[in-house]
A and B are shown apart, each in its own frame.
Chain A
Amino acid sequence: MISSSSIVAGLLSWAFDVHLPLVYTVLGILWITPFLEYVGWKRNDERYMKLVGTMLNYLIAVYAIGGVFGTIITVFLAGLMPVFTNLAGIALWPVWATAIVAGVIITIPVIGMYYRTFGRWGHRNHAALGVLLAISASIIPLMFRLVFAYTAFPAGTSIVPDGSSVTGFDLVVNVAQAFNNPLYPPLYASTMFAALAFTGAMMVFGFSLRYKGLPHQDLGITIGRKLALVFGALFAVSASAYLYEVYQLSPTMAWSIFGRAPPYLPSAYQPVYRPTYNLSMAFYTDVVLAVITFALLLLNFRSESRALGVLLGPLSVAVLDISEAVDLLAHAPYAVVPPLQVAEELASKYGLSFALIL
């Protein structure tokens, strides 16, 4: 029989795996198009304008479906993990509020404006609007990735024993200190680099798939693979830094991702931190797929094969989706993985069964 936690894991992974490639593409398009427009205007090169116009045509549809899946995630979270979502909403409300302002109040109308004013405004002003929009849209992951980092390592949280609480204690979160989470900078950097690399790969994929020998398509493929290569390399560096911090600070995740308990974990605490899923196979498969993607990208520089370009699409989606699913599911059985120091404190007060109380 399928356990309820597996259903939760499956539904959330599905929603995240549809949502994230779409919003990564939105972020990528928003950052890339203003620069393409500016360069095209400076060089008086019509190919760049055609390329920007083509990319903007995808923006609204991708944003709409990505937004729908964002809503699906919030409802899944509230429906499947209501107490966790409730407490996270209370503890980190300034984070959600900032994401709402940036993500909805500013970004939605301005995306429509950015799309409609292309070709109507002067290119310099339109590109400037695009950069402002990209900054605003980047605030959304800037906020949400803090929550991801928090669930892996709850920085800025103190535990106050409370006999009246069903859990036996209260969690008090200092939001300012939560931003000092060591996992947060590399996670956010890897998100932004991944968004640009992924969009570059999608440019190669999309233009290769519908190739008709048009000049702006050739330009899109050339620029796309450069972006994918440069930002893919930066993603590899920042993701490694994130994994290093995860390994040091989040024992359950480290165990789940790398397949064995980290050596700093005392054996007495192993039952507490044992992960629900051993995701090491998925993780190593992801690394192998990433290396293959990188190799194909390099090959594409030499051969300019359309088949290779088309192959980059599904491979990039697979790399992204597996990495996000691994990051999401490695927390289990915890929604928020307790740090080792906290576990020691809790164990001294409540015994090792505190985790069961949670």
Chain B
Amino acid sequence: MAVDLTPLRVLSASGIIAHLSLASTFLGTIALALVLEFRYLTTKDEAFRERARTFSVISTIVFGVGAAYGTLVEFGLVTVWSNFVTLMGAIALPFYLELFAFLFEVVVLPLYTLTWDKVRNGWAHFGIGVVAAFGGYWSAYNILAVMASLSMLPPGLSIVNLQSHGQSISKAITYVLEWQSPSDVWNMYWYGAQVFIFHGILAALLVSWSLVAGIYIHRYIRDRDPIRKRILNHMLLPISVLTLVQGLVLGHFQGELVLRDDPLKLAVFEGMYWSGLRVDPITSIVAYGTLNHEFWGYYSWPASIRPPTYVTFTYLVMMVGFGILLGILALALGLSYAFGHKLEKVGLGFVYGLEPWLERASQYLIPLSAIMAGIGGAISTESGRYPLIFVSSVPSGSGPPQIEGIPVGALLNVTLSMPVWEVALLTLVVLAIPFVAVYGVWLYVNRRR
């Protein structure tokens, strides 16, 4: 009898998303600390230094909880999806490199946070911060390289299905991965992985900066502290520009890869619910710049490998829809804050006129849109390839391209049995732990007041 993987998938997804939220917050807050410290060094404005210091401490608190939480997620994944460990043997390179990045963070980040009053040369202190941030981004780079390989099989890596030869290892392990040559292991960082990685890093930055921007707008509405507005001026327009880059540049490249490597994922993303080839004008113009290109519909593939249909919602509504909303709000409020009534000179006076409304809406909608887009993107990426990992497509003569990969069910720990209530309880615990970081930040911010 087939095992229902849904409860365990929900448990793992909850853990990963909660860890992702902490990791993203770290990447965003350490970047913000550096931007503000840079502004302090170039303007000598103490307000920037003060805020930079605050964000460096917040990033350290979030990093501490996130690092410990990462261990929980890792053990959780290995306990539930044990057979992934054998596959890890082939894709271990990014994991190794990530460890050294992690070590970097552990040593240099506290150094950055604790030496604000001790390193006299401001640029030297800034340099320490750059090194600490590099550790964080290098860490994200490597983990995202692994995640990229799950969605797109790297060149040179092949799947060996032991079961198809009537074999297994101890009746548990039925799939292994094999590189054509040892040096191919560097293909973990192939072009497709690079697109995936920078798409992911930018998403992390956008979510965390939007969260901080929402809090700053909320407070600015109440106290009209000019420092807050100056800091928002460093965040809102960059958020809008980066959203544009995310959607139109990296998103486009990512879309091209999905089109080539996993047309079934593309079908569920774009809601192409038909069987066989059919013209889809919207997807056609986005992908090819024409209106008459044909695409294989979702029902062209067997039900056993079709991803869940909710992915259409998480992609089109959550990721694309809320992403666009984020870009528009950040652009409008960013322009209004940065240029004020000067916008009238370029015919955009109405934007300034809308500022009070924009402020009230943006304090909630900017963070909400970013979170929805981020979670929507993550779910679309991972559920869009379900029920397979290490996905690739092989052209076939007449029918749709053949989608290949390792079934997620083959990763499950065959000896594991957990009742649904136990899974639900664990999910609640997993979702609650990030609030330790929130509590830590709250304690710190209130102590400083």
Is A100 touching B75 in the complex (CB atoms < 8 A)?
yes
Whether A166 lies near B167 (C-beta < 8 A) is yes
A75-B96 contact, Cβ under 8 Å, with A100-B75, A104-B68: yes
A108 CB to nearest chain B CB (Å): 5
When chains A and B are docked, how far (Å) is the Cα of A338 from the Cα of B413?
24
Evaluate contact between A83 and B169: CB separation under 8 angstroms.
Answer: yes
Report the bound CA distance from A123 to B90 in whole Å: 52
Are B99 and A72 in touch, CB under 8 angstroms? yes
Cross-interface CB contact of B167 among A87, A99, A164, cutoff 8 Å: A164
Of B85, B166, B436, the most chain A CB neighbours within 10 A belong to B85
Q: A79-B96, A93-B415 are in contact. Are A165 and B169 (CB under 8 A)?
A: yes
A89 proximal to B (CB < 8 A): yes
In the complex, how many angstroms separate the beta carbon of B169 from the nearest chain A beta carbon? 5
Residue A213 interfacial (CB < 8 Å): no
The CA of A93 and the CA of B82, in the complex, are separated in Å by 9
- Stretch with Cβ within 8 A of B (4 or more), from A61-69, A176-184, A225-233: A61-69
List residues of A (72-113) whose CB comes within 8 Å of B's CBs. Answer: 72, 74-75, 78-83, 85-87, 89-91, 93, 96-97, 99-100, 103-105, 108-109, 112
A70 within 8 A of partner (CB): yes
The contact size tier of chain A is: 35 or more
Tell yes or no: A167 within 8 A of B by CB: yes
A345 CB within 8 Å of chain B: no
> A344 at the A/B interface (Cβ < 8 Å)?
no
Which secondary structure characterizes the binding site on chain B? helix
| In the complex with contacts A70-B71, A87-B169, A78-B82 CB distance below 8 A | no
Some 11 contacts from A to B, beta carbons below 8 A apart, are A64-B67, A68-B102, A68-B106, A75-B92, A87-B173, A93-B415, A104-B75, A109-B433, A164-B166, A164-B168, A167-B170
CA distance A93 to B413 in the complex (A): 9
A-facing residues in B32-77 (Cβ within 8 Å):
64-65, 67-72, 74-76
Q: A74-B78, A109-B433 are in contact. Are A79 and B170 (CB under 8 A)?
A: no
Q: Which of A65, A103, A164 has the most CB of B within 10 A?
A: A164
- Is A93 a contact of B169 with CB atoms below 8 Å? no
A90 contacts which of B64, B167, B415 (Cβ < 8 Å)? B415
Tell yes or no: A45 within 8 A of B by CB: no
Say yes or no for B89: interface residue by CB 8 A criterion: yes
Q: How far is the CA of A79 from the CA of B415 in the complex (A)?
A: 22
CB distance from B164 to the nearest CB of A (A): 12
Q: A70, A89, A108: which contacts B79 (Cβ < 8 A)?
A: A89
Q: Across the interface, do B71 and A86 meet the contact criterion of CB distance under 8 Å?
A: no
Q: Is the CB of B72 within 8 A of A104?
A: yes
- Residues of A with Cβ closer than 8 Å to B? 61, 64-65, 67-68, 70-72, 74-75, 78-83, 85-87, 89-91, 93, 96-97, 99-100, 103-105, 108-109, 112, 162, 164-167, 169-171
Distance of B433 from chain A, by nearest CB (Å): 7
CA distance A192 to B101 in the complex (A): 32
Q: Which residues of A contact B172 (CB under 8 A)?
A: 86-87, 90
- Contact indicator B166/A71 (Cβ below 8 Å): no
In the complex the two chains form, what is the Cα distance from A65 to B172 in whole Å? 34
The chain A residue sitting closest to B165, CB to CB, is A164
Q: What is the CA–CA distance of A75 and B75 in the complex, to the nearest angstrom?
A: 11
Docked CA distance A16–B170 (Å): 28
A82 contact set on B, CB distance < 8 A = 85-90, 92
- Apart from A67-B68, A165-B168, 10 more pairs, CB < 8 Å: A71-B70, A74-B71, A79-B95, A83-B169, A86-B85, A89-B79, A89-B85, A90-B413, A112-B440, A169-B170
